[in-house]
Amino acid sequence: MRKWLIVSVLVSLALVLTSCSGSSEKIRFATDAAYAPMEFMDKDEIVGFDIDFLAAVMEEAGLEYTISNIGWDTMLESVRQGKEYDAGISSVSITDERKETYDFSVPYFESTNMILTSASSPIFSALDLLEMKVAVQTATTADIIMSELMGKDNSNLKRFESNALAILELENNGVDAVVADNMIVGEYIKNNPDKDFVGIFDSENFAGEYYGILFPKGSDLKAKLDPAIKAVIENGTYAVIYEKWFGQAPDVTKLLEQ
């Protein structure tokens, strides 16, 4: 009788511990921390707008999490599989093509692509790039847009693993321009005043985009995080984080309409 009582107590305790362990399980996020000021490495720490924003969202949602820097292509594939990582945050533009493979949170950031080129360059719009050598980061919306404009197999369209490598190619005169998100281009120009580069907007050929948190298809995290994202935007926390990283107040009108 006593043995059965002990066994019963041990089983009950094991169930309680299992339940407690499950309730505190951390959500695993992946990122590509090579996209300053959105996400980048500061010594051994991942920092940036997206990182601060995620911290606010997860606090609002009451969820614990980890975040790992694993690179762009690896992030996309790992989140798609949904085994090692539960979600990704890395300035991922929401597109119809990506929606076929992933689920996205509600939008949390408005962006557009931009041209980075020499101040003495004859480039003034995306159409001026058609006969030029152009660098982009592989599998980004810049890659998609320029593949449509120049032709996917155009030898003048150079693809790199990161925007940092694409910009380095421009600095070394290997290409005439880089196409990347406006925040990336703006940050580079701000941090390199000695370089004779300019950023060019082209709203006719580069439509506005929205970033979202990336989930595997069918993930229940979307339902948990969407309300938290909206709350962070509505309660002013978003504006504080935005001003910290970009030095100005955000216009959240369109985000609140989503």
Phi, psi of 257, rounded to the nearest 5 degrees: -85, -15
What pLDDT, on the 0 to 100 scale, is given for residue 99? 97
CATH match for 25-110+209-252 among 3.40.50.9100, 3.40.190.10, 1.10.10.2520, 3.40.50.2000: 3.40.190.10
Taking the domains of the chain in order of start, what are their residue ranges? 25-110+209-252, 113-200
For 70-208, strand residue ranges (E) read: 87-88, 102-104, 109-111, 113-118, 134-137, 157-160, 177-181, 197-200
Give the pLDDT confidence score for residue 258 in this predicted structure: 79
> With helix as H, strand as E and coil as C, how does 4-18 read?
HHHHHHHHHHHHHHH
**pLDDT, position 124:** 96
The verdict on domain 113-200 having CATH code 3.40.190.10 is: yes
Residues 147 and 126 sit within 8 Å (Cβ to Cβ): no
Nearest to 185 by CA among 203, 198, 170: 198
**The pLDDT of residue 5:** 40
- Whole-prediction pTM: 0.80
Residue 159: partners with Cβ closer than 8 Å, 6 or more residues away: 135, 136, 137, 138, 143
Q: Degrees (nearest 5) of the Cα angle 95, 69, 34?
A: 70
Q: Which pLDDT belongs to residue 110?
A: 92
Which residue ranges in the chain fall short of pLDDT 50? 1-23
Asked whether the beta carbons of 139 and 77 are under 8 A apart, the reply is: no
Please check whether the two domains, 25-110+209-252 and 113-200, share a CATH topology: yes
Residue 83: predicted pLDDT: 95
**What Cα–Cα distance (Å) separates residue 167 from each residue in 20, 135, 171, 179?**
48, 8, 6, 9
Query: Are residues 213 and 104 in contact, defined by beta-carbon separation less than 8 angstroms?
Result: yes
Distance (Å) of CA 41 to CA 72, 88, 122 = 14, 16, 34
Name the pairing type of β-strands 134-137 and 157-160.
parallel
Radius of gyration from C-alpha coordinates of the chain: 22
